């Protein structure tokens, strides 16, 4: 057996920044080759169809907005011209909720759906959830992708999952009693309603065996505090969107923010009016670029969400990266 030259130097490990740049250039290559939407936008900006030399060069690309995607889908239904692969390769379709803006249709190939669910699994791990946990999902599985992504990520970890979001509170109570979950995931309103139903029977929710609550949806600090007290369980926030998938979540150290999955996204924070980058810790608009999900990537996508981004944050959980 030839083991090679023992005097040869060890191969140098790939740095995280190099891996991110390589992933970004794969996304850009797919978009240049297959997406009429992106190629047309970048040519209009005078950009060459060439790999970027550094992550900093991403700033040369123009921003993309939801309004542009909506207009593109309206002009070329159903998905517009952003898709980089043949329609036959797409196996999953979801629609954004569209509660405050026009809904968007998004799609995945089998491979990109695996990329999405791996990200969801990472958010579950951040909250300390593992394969031994039993999850009761009080989420409405409709056209939107969020509940499906949350469910698929938990299944990837091997968790026992029971979706009961479309069942009335009485049925959820029966499920809680029979299934004995360790984790509940739902909207703050839904989790509160189930707690009130338990209390109406004279039973304290904190004795149900639930030790973690995953809050899906916007809420105020007082709602979170009330839920923690009622259930006697830790609360965890997570953030994602149809266009990106699972983006960030709170860890068990509860650092006051959410850890971004830096190996899957490049995040920027900009002034919502000027588009100029804002310093760490200052409020700004979140801009996302996916480092995967090639059939429907988002590249410098203005989410419209306000954040205070802190890069290179050293957390008590041992994780270092964007918060």
Cβ neighbours of residue 80 closer than 8 Å, sequence gap 6 or more: 37, 69, 72, 73
Cβ atoms of residues 159 and 207 within 8 Å: no
| Short-list 167, 106, 110, CA closest to 136 | 167
Cβ neighbours of residue 276 closer than 8 Å, sequence gap 6 or more: 270
Instruction: State the pLDDT at residue 185.
Output: 96
Assessment of whether the complete model's pTM goes beyond 0.75:
yes
Instruction: State the pLDDT at residue 100.
Output: 59
Q: What strands, in cross-sheet order, belong to the sheet with 212-215?
A: 160-163, 134-138, 183-186, 212-215, 234-241, 245-249, 259-260
Tens digit of pLDDT per residue, the chain (323 long)?
333 344 444 444 556 789 999 999 999 999 999 999 999 999 999 999 999 999 999 999 999 999 999 999 999 999 999 999 999 999 999 988 665 567 899 999 999 999 999 999 999 999 999 999 999 999 988 777 889 999 999 999 999 999 998 889 999 999 999 999 999 999 999 999 999 999 999 999 999 999 999 999 888 999 999 999 999 999 999 999 999 999 999 999 999 999 999 999 999 999 999 999 999 999 999 999 999 999 999 999 999 999 999 988 899 999 988 87
Instruction: State the pLDDT at residue 9.
Output: 45
Q: What is the CA radius of gyration of the chain?
A: 22
Cβ neighbours of residue 180 closer than 8 Å, sequence gap 6 or more: 134, 209
Instruction: State the pLDDT at residue 233.
Output: 97
Instruction: State the pLDDT at residue 99.
Output: 56
- What is the full DSSP assignment across 223-256? HHHHHHHHHT-EEEEEEEETTTEEEEE--TT--S
d(C-alpha 83, C-alpha 53), whole Å: 25
> Residue 252 is encoded by which pair of tokens?
């068990």
Sign of the CA dihedral 314, 125, 264, 146? negative
């Amino acid at each position: 057996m030839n083991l090679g030259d023992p005097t040869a130097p060890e191969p140098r490990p790939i740095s995280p920044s190099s891996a991110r740049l390589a992933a970004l250039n794969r996304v850009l290559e797919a978009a240049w080759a297959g997406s009429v939407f992106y190629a047309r936008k970048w040519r209009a900006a005078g950009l060459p169809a060439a790999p970027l030399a550094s992550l900093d060069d991403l700033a040369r690309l123009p921003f993309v907005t939801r309004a542009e995607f909506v207009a593109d889908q309206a002009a070329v239904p159903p998905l517009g011209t952003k898709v980089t692969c043949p329609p036959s390769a797409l196996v999953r379709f979801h629609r954004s909720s569209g509660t405050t803006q026009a809904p968007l249709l998004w799609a995945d190939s089998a491979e990109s759906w695996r990329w999405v669910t791996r990200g969801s699994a990472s958010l579950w791990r951040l909250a300390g959830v593992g394969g031994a946990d039993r999850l009761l999902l009080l989420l409405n599985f409709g056209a939107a992708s969020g509940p499906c992504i949350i469910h698929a990520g938990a299944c990837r970890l091997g968790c026992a999952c029971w979706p009961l979001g479309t069942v009335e509170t009485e049925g959820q109570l029966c499920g809680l009693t029979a299934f004995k979950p360790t984790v509940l995931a739902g909207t703050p309103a839904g989790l509160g309603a189930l707690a009130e139903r338990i209390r109406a029977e004279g039973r304290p929710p904190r004795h149900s065996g639930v030790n973690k609550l995953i809050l899906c949806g916007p809420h105020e600090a007082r709602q979170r505090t009330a839920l923690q007290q009622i259930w006697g369980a830790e609360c965890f926030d997570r953030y994602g969107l149809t266009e990106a998938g699972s983006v960030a979540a709170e860890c068990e150290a509860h650092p006051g923010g959410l850890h971004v999955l830096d190996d899957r996204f490049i995040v920027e924070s900009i002034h919502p009016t000027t588009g100029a980058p804002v310093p760490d810790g200052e409020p700004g608009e979140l801009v996302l670029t996916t480092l995967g999900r090639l059939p429907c990537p988002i590249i410098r996508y203005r989410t419209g969400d306000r954040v205070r981004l802190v890069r290179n944050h050293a957390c008590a959980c041992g994780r270092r990266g964007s918060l």
